[in-house]
Structure 1
Amino acid sequence: MKDFQNIKKIVIVTLFIAFGISKVSAHEIKGSCSNHETFSFFCDLCGCSTSSGSFGFGTLSNANFIGVRYIYQNFESKNGIFDDSPKSEETFNTYQLWAQIPITDAFYVTANLPYQDLNRSYTNSTENISGLGDSSLIGWYKLAFYKKKKEGETVDFNSEKEPSGHSIQFGLGVKLPTGKFEERLADNINPGFQVGTGSVDGVFSLGYNYGGDKIGVNTLLSYYLKGENKNEYQFGNQFSYAVNMFTAFSTEKMNIMPFVGISGDVYDSIKQYGETLQDTDGNILNASLGSELAIEKFIFGASYTLPVSQNLFGDNVESKQRFSVYVNFAL
């Protein structure tokens, strides 16, 4: 109930700010999807095994930004193979500072600094851990494609190339062990109940984007190469994927972009002291919907995610739902 009340407060504050800013005079935002970037993906790198790498979108608008984001995740863990085995309810609250900073026209950097507040409730007790999570830094190169000149058309070498709406993005980054890893929690049914991993991890991403006059489509594939921490504990490598479609509805003062999509993660087994731990791998497929509202230099967004199918830690951990809201300021 406490987590639900926190979500309500954040949503109310976000809507209140959006309503207030809508009273301010804004520049015209064009309605064509081709005038906006597709998802500038920014991976949510808590680093823990149950945290989705495919979850966490950047802004849909064509803007570099700095902002704040809140992510709520809910899990249920079962300690045993029977229906009446003891269960625990877990809620992950993540508060992020995040940014997308341009370096050149084709190269930009994304950065993320999270604060984790994790709660777990049993039948007769509760547990809480909180603190700074694992930060990340990713460099992105964007390769844009342009329209070809029609046959017989005069080539003007002084004119600018016309974008085709298609582009490919390459990402290379690192997750840093700024979050504390507690070895006493490693034997939990859900090993993801940690504020950090204590390891340095590599991030490799490849994305395809298309923005047309009516719709936009994007895909992102990411691979997370997990390192071993000082406790000789190594979370399993992770493959994440996401496909999303969106459209845009514009007025003189604002731009609204709803989207739908699917995403998923595949987790390798965890290793400790060089040994593979049983029932620590898994996979999950999610469906998401949400929307983004751009007014002047402010960008407001929200998304809701539900699992379609999953098999996590030998079916002993079940992901329930995820919810995210963010407020960004375009640079």
Structure 2
Amino acid sequence: MNDLPNFNFRYAILGLLLLCNTMMYAHHPNTICNNHNPEAWFCDLCGCSTSSGSFGYGTLSNANFVGLRYIYQNFESKAGIFSNSPISKETFNTVQLWAQVPISDSFYVTANVPYQDLTRNFEGERENLNGLGDISAIGWYKIMFYKKKTTDSTAIDYNLTKEPSGHSIQFGIGVKLPTGKFEERLADNVNPGFQVGTGSVDGVFSVGYNYGSDRIGVNTLFSYYLKGENKNNYQFGNQFSYSTNVYTVFSGEKMNVMPFIGLSGDVYNSIKQYDETLQDTDGSILNASLGSELAIDKFIFGANYTLPLSQSLFGDNVKSKQRFSVYVNFAL
């Protein structure tokens, strides 16, 4: 929590202004939360290998949408094996244009176009990187389950409408493109994830389960990231991510509020360069998340705060600190 004053207030003010401006035009009751099939917090594909799956592609409201999301992350990296070794402090600011677009009743696509602004402070020197990050897209196939009818077998049922049970599963296959710049000179840092992009084409394979009722919901997602080798013969380690969130719904006359709590984690394989495994470049992290989503008419506002519960990254030389996300979406 001591790192909170280092929060980049330029982005916070921009987000608050956007939020307030949008709320001025939203005055009608929300109707998009009644599908009872909320999507999981689908894992994002940040170009940084130290990023977690805590922040995702979807919203609790189960709406197809287009919107803006801001993510703040910070890390501390120890450049040495001694307790008094110098510390590098890294701040990651990401603004994303993201969307979920339906193709059919069972198939939809999520996409993410990030802009990265990264800052590193080490022994009095400040380094800044910014630019377009790695664009990603995932195609999802959703299977919904319906309630069994208990009508009299001798009677003719003229109502052919199926009633959703609230349970569903989805399968996703996607790709991350090397649109963000990868700088080989930065790969020698204690935290090689301090990059605008990976420079590689990566594959994503996901499976998730959702349940939603009028008052409560649960969603769980498992994803595997197959990392490719970039033109510098550098390959970030493959990554397994998992997350589960539990939320409740408070419905009002003009809005729905959905607070949630969750757990998420990532397991990273070692980085390779020229087919050689680099020492102390694997790791794992477990996070706890707390947040809420507010839906008014077709506007969706969300916030998510994440704090690591346990971690072992890059030989314990890199520490993930707090993470924070806010977003404003318009339901399609």
Which residue matches 2:173? Answer: 172
Change (3 A) 1:85 1:10: same
In structure 2, what is the Cα distance between the partners aligned to 1:57 and 1:232? 29
Which residue matches 1:82? Answer: 82
**Larger deviation, residues 59-68 vs 261-270:** 59-68
Superposition TM-score, scaled by structure 2 size: 0.94
Please give the residue correspondences for 1:1-331 in structure 2 after superposition, counting only pairs within 5 Å: 1=5, 3-10=7-14, 12-17=16-21, 19-22=23-26, 24=27, 26-27=28-29, 29=31, 35-150=35-150, 152=152, 154=155, 156=157, 158-331=159-332
Q: Deviations over 1:127-161 (max 9, x none)?
A: 01111100001000000000112264546264211
In structure 1, what is the Cα distance between the partners aligned to 2:105 and 2:142? 8
In structure 1, what is the Cα distance between the partners aligned to 2:199 and 2:225? 15
Amino acid at match of 2:314: F
Q: Secondary structure at the match of 2:16?
A: helix
Q: Deviations over 1:66-120 (max 9, x none)?
A: 0010000010000111110010110000110011010000000011100110000
Change (3 A) 1:52 1:88: same
Change (3 A) 1:302 1:135: same
Checking the alignment, whether the CA contact within 8 Å between 1:29 and 1:252 is kept in structure 2 is no
In structure 2, what is the Cα distance between the partners aligned to 1:212 and 1:13? 33
Note the C-alpha offset of 1:63.
1.5
Checking the alignment, whether the CA contact within 8 Å between 1:171 and 1:206 is kept in structure 2 is yes
In structure 1, what is the Cα distance between the partners aligned to 2:87 and 2:175? 35
Q: Secondary structure at the match of 1:185?
A: helix
Superposition TM-score, scaled by structure 1 size: 0.94
Note the C-alpha offset of 1:18.
5.3
Change (3 A) 1:155 1:180: farther
Q: Secondary structure at the match of 2:59?
A: coil
In structure 1, what is the Cα distance between the partners aligned to 2:97 and 2:23? 23
Q: Secondary structure at the match of 1:186?
A: helix
Checking the alignment, whether the CA contact within 8 Å between 2:53 and 2:266 is kept in structure 1 is yes
In structure 2, what is the Cα distance between the partners aligned to 1:65 and 1:304? 22
Q: Deviations over 1:19-76 (max 9, x none)?
A: 4234x3x14538xx76343134443211321011342252211310000100000100
Checking the alignment, whether the CA contact within 8 Å between 2:30 and 2:298 is kept in structure 1 is no
Q: Secondary structure at the match of 2:160?
A: coil
In structure 1, what is the Cα distance between the partners aligned to 2:156 and 2:269? 52
Checking the alignment, whether the CA contact within 8 Å between 2:90 and 2:119 is kept in structure 1 is yes
- Structure 1, unmatched stretches of 5+, are none
In structure 2, what is the Cα distance between the partners aligned to 1:199 and 1:145? 38
Q: Secondary structure at the match of 2:188?
A: coil
Note the C-alpha offset of 1:6.
2.8
Checking the alignment, whether the CA contact within 8 Å between 2:43 and 2:54 is kept in structure 1 is yes
Query: RMSD value over aligned CA atoms?
Result: 1.8
Residues paired across the two proteins, number: 327
Amino acid at match of 1:206: V
Change (3 A) 1:256 1:198: same
In structure 2, what is the Cα distance between the partners aligned to 1:28 and 1:218? 21
In structure 1, what is the Cα distance between the partners aligned to 2:172 and 2:261? 23
Q: Secondary structure at the match of 2:24?
A: helix
Amino acid at match of 2:229: E
